[in-house]
Amino acid sequence: MASAIGISVRDTVLWVEDTGETHLPAVVCLHSLWLDGTMFGDLVKAAAGKFRVIRPDFRGQGQSAPPTTEIIDMETCALDIEALIEKLGLTSVNLVVQSMGGDVAIRMAARRPEAYRSLIMLASSARGGEIDELDFVRQWLQNSYQTGFVGDSLQLLREVMFGVTTRKTVSKQVMLKHWSNMLEASPRSLWPAIRGVIERESAVDLLPRITTPSLVFSGEEDVARPPAWADEVVENLPNARLVRLKAIGHSPILEAPELVIPQIVAFLENPAFDESRFGKGLCNACRV
C-alpha cells in the first residue's frame, strides 16, 4: 500500500514516500541537495506496475526531521539510508541517485556492493569539494544565510542547478518556476546539509570496490559536477557506462525526463550493457 510517512531510523526521522508494492523489485531514489524526493515524480509514473519506488528525504532536508548538528556529512546520510533499507526489509535494491544522492550512494555501494542490483547516477561525482572554489562558496552561503536565496544569489543557484539551454527554453519555464520556488524557500535549517555537501571528502578511492552494474548520466552543461568528473567515476567503476547528455545541466531527470527516464527504466529492467541500447563498439560513453 502506498504511503508517505515519517520513519524513525537511528537518531532521526526520515520522511519516506513509498509506492508500497512489496512483490515488486525495490528502487530507492536519493535526491539532490536543495531538492527532495518529489524530484523523482516522473520516474514513479514510468515505473508503475514494474517497480516499488521508495523516495526518502535526507535528514535535515525536505520533510524529514530538522538537523541537530552544524554539519550533516555524507557518511551520516549513508548510514541513515542503510538503516532505512534494513528497516523496510529490502533486498537486492536498485539505486537511482542524483548529485548529493550520488555522494551518499557511493559510500553505501562500496561498503556492500552485493546488496545493490543496479546503480544509476545522474549528475554525480566522487570528488570532494574543490579547494580553489571553497572560499567563494562559503562566502556565498554566508551571505545567503542572512538574506535567503533571492536576487543574484537565487540566480547563481539556478545556474548551478540547471543548464543554460534549459534556462532559455520556453517549454521548460513552468518546471523551472516550480523548482526555483523551492530553492528560494530554502529554510535556514538546510544549512547543515549544505555544509555537508560543500565540505564533503573525496570518495574516488571507493569506486573500484563497487562492482554493481552502474549507469552514469552526465550533462554537458553541468557546472556543479562537470563532465570530467563523471568520466572519472566511470573510469574507476569496474562495471559502468556513461551517457553524455547534450544541452543538459545539473538536473537531468528534471531537464530531460523524456530522454533520461526511459533509459533508467530499461536499465532497471535489465542492468546489463548491450549494443542495442549503448551502440555497437561503444567503450564507455554515448551521447544523446
Name the E strands within the chain. 3-9, 12-18, 26-30, 52-56, 93-98, 116-122, 214-219, 240-245, 285-287
212-236: per-residue pLDDT in tens?
Answer: 999 999 999 999 999 999 999 999 9
13-70: per-residue pLDDT in tens?
Answer: 999 999 999 999 999 999 999 999 999 999 999 999 999 999 999 999 999 999 999 9
DSSP 76-98: HHHHHHHHHHHHHT--SEEEEEE
**Sequence spans of domains, the chain:** 3-287
Q: Which CATH superfamily is domain 3-287 in?
A: Alpha/Beta hydrolase fold, catalytic domain (3.40.50.1820)
The pTM assigned to this predicted structure is: 0.93
